[in-house]
Amino acid sequence: MEKKKAHKAYKTSKSWDDYLIFSNIRAQCKSACKVGYENYIKTVENNIASNTKYFWNFVNTKRKNNGLPETMYCDNLTYDNGNDIANAFAQQFQSVYKPDTVDEIPTFTTDKTVEMNSCAISLEIICNKLSQLDPYKGPGPDGITTMLLKNCRFTLTKPLFLLFTASLSLGEVPLVWKSSYITPIYISLETEQT
């Protein structure tokens, strides 16, 4: 607001003193914007691990085009509208998809045991943890989305309780529980030079 007033005063009077006042306020605004932007970048970087949605919102603001490409090519064919592009993706994924075959639920073996009696799990703890899941996070290797886990928490709490209790009492963690996805995210350590 002050910058606009100073600019208007300078434009009206064409005085060198008014120009210096306007120039000083403009420099303060630029400096404040630069500090604010640097703080914003630090906040985004610090929240990557805890809130990936915040990071991707920032990335999307930097992209020039957030939509589908206007034209796509697959197997020497050209697709130029959204419906055709979506169908081409569906056909491509269907052609390479190989469903996992799970014959049975992983079993616990008792050849190695570790004392894990200090851990306490209750139905209430499991239900509370499920309700705190971020529904916008992607699924793990099992393909189960956090939205499904959160929305079905009342049905899933007891089976999970039984699985966790069996794991603790036997002192083992099933091998499939130890797999996860790791996605590297580029973080620029340099600040924008102006």
Instruction: Report the 10 Å Cβ neighbour count for 128.
Output: 12
**Residue 130 and residue 79 share a domain:** no
* 143 or 124, which is more confident: 124
d(CA 26, CA 32): 10
- The set of residues, in sequence order, having a beta carbon less than 8 Å from that of 106 and lying 6+ positions away, is 174, 175, 176
Boundaries of domain holding 139 = 123-178
> What percent of the chain is predicted at pLDDT more than 90?
9
pLDDT bucket at 129, cuts 50 / 70 / 90: very high
Examine the pLDDT at 124 and tell me if it is beyond 70: yes
Q: What is the mean pLDDT of residues 63-91?
A: 75
Q: Is residue 93 part of a domain?
A: yes
Please choose, from the candidates 149, 143, 154, the residue with its C-alpha nearest in 3D space to the C-alpha of residue 179. Answer: 143
**Residue 81 and residue 47 share a domain:** no
Q: Is residue 79 part of a domain?
A: yes
CB 167 within 8 A of CB 173: yes
Q: What is the mean pLDDT of residues 91-98?
A: 74
- Greatest alpha-carbon pair distance for the chain in Å reads 90
**Residue 81 and residue 33 share a domain:** no
Q: Is residue 171 part of a domain?
A: yes
Q: Is residue 115 part of a domain?
A: no
pLDDT bucket at 128, cuts 50 / 70 / 90: very high
pLDDT bucket at 64, cuts 50 / 70 / 90: low
d(CA 173, CA 113): 10
